[in-house]
Amino acid sequence: MFCYKSVTIYGSKLNQIDTIKQYVVANMQSADQLLQVEAQTSEYISSWMRLSCIKCAIELGIPDILHKHANPFMTLSDLIAALPNLNPSKAPFIPILMRLLVHSGLFNYHQQGDGYSLTSDGRLLVENDPFSRRSHLLFTQHPVMLNTFASISDWLCNDLPTAFDTAHGKSLWDYCAGEPEFGNIFNDLMASDSRLLVSNLLISDCCKRVFEDLTSLVDVGGGTGTLAMSIANAFPSLKCIVFDIPHVIGDRKGTGNMEFVAGNMFDKIPHANAILLKWILHNWSDQDCVNLLKKCKESIPSKEKGGKVIIIDIVMNDNSSNEQLVQAQHLMDFMMRIIHASKERTKKEWEKLFLDAGFSAYKIITSLGLRSLIEIYP
């Protein structure tokens, strides 16, 4: 990192050149360093453009078209012909778009044949891929969220609770309820996240055993039921209830050992052996979390009878050697603060919530990457 001092450049061209030289000598070890800093800064500034291009490719259907193509790669002419909504006059832009996304690591370019194929990263943009991350990108790149990010400085200068309120005059939850199109994108995001989580949750022995002795489970804020459905399929004798607000549950009906129930988690939660809270508590303030955990405690039996609450959420760990994980946790914490006026929590902060809500013990399993699985007992 370099500290830039303000420089006043004036006078003749010679004076300007001399001043620039003096600035470079004073602040950089070499002119090459200055060029390196310029390149890094340009990368930071233009990173949003790359995300916009990825969003464009998704909306055009390019990842899905390449995924469905039978041959090892698809020629540029065939790809252009397969784009249903492309205006013919814009066809020359497609190789420009593809070139950028090839350099981003999403597509392979096959020079012999002038064609393209998906990389392993590009597969994560395919709609029905079990590990697809396309809904995450579409959510963060939606105008609603872009306007929220653009309002951060305004929010810091007003007395509104969040940057989302600053941009839209209401909370995220109220916005989703009133705007079904955006609400569906958010629900898709949660469902996609659950599919990714299941791959680790039900494969890992230490996580899977958390569900083995249960007879009933309520997935609070379970959305469209993606996670609960996977758990219900893995444990046929376990009754799973998806519990969420009415406009999310809609007319969904359960089958077999799955049931959908509408309600407000701060009023009353259906009784069960265990309560599951995935990506729930990080949306709420400490006091709201304590209130919700108390409602959970009312709905489960004692620890001796197998009662527990299962939390899947981030436990902040700045001491981790995985820098990408730490950065991802910090970014998620930042997002929670500007959208929900909430936060991600450290182990010590989690422990305080559990004790304040009247729970006696807890156990943390740190084998879910960005997140942890926490069991708490009454």
Question: For the whole model, what pTM was predicted?
Answer: 0.78
User: Please, which pLDDT band fits residue 28 given cuts at 50, 70 and 90?
Assistant: low
pLDDT by residue (tens digit) across 69-110? 878 899 999 999 999 889 999 999 999 999 999 998 999 999
Domain segments of the chain as ranges: 1-121, 134-377
Identify the architecture of domain 1-121 in CATH.
Orthogonal Bundle (1.10)
Average pLDDT over residues 50-64: 92
Q: What is the model's pLDDT at position 14?
A: 53
Which residues, in sequence order, are bridge partners of residue 308? 274
- Phi (first) and psi of residue 72, to 5 degrees: -55, -30
Query: How many Cβ atoms from other residues are within 10 Å of residue 14's Cβ?
Result: 8
User: Best-predicted range by mean pLDDT among 131-145, 201-215, 258-272?
Assistant: 258-272
Under 8 Å CB-to-CB from 41, ≥6 apart: which residues? Answer: none
Percentage of residues of the chain with pLDDT beyond 70: 86
Cα dist from 367 to 58, 206, 219, 341, 363, whole Å: 31, 8, 20, 27, 13
User: Please, which pLDDT band fits residue 153 given cuts at 50, 70 and 90?
Assistant: very high
Q: What is the model's pLDDT at position 2?
A: 38
What is the enclosing helix (H) or strand (E) of 363? strand 361-368
Q: What is the model's pLDDT at position 4?
A: 39
User: Please, which pLDDT band fits residue 7 given cuts at 50, 70 and 90?
Assistant: very low
pLDDT by residue (tens digit) across 344-371? 999 999 999 999 999 999 999 876 778 8
Q: What is the model's pLDDT at position 5?
A: 39
Average pLDDT over residues 200-209: 69
CATH fold of 134-377 reads Rossmann fold (3.40.50)
| Residues forming the active site | 282
- The residue among 222, 224, 228 whose CA lies nearest residue 202 is 228
Q: What is the model's pLDDT at position 129?
A: 79
Tokens of 101: 């996304």
- Phi (first) and psi of residue 262, to 5 degrees: -95, 145
- The residue among 159, 124, 171 whose CA lies nearest residue 339 is 171
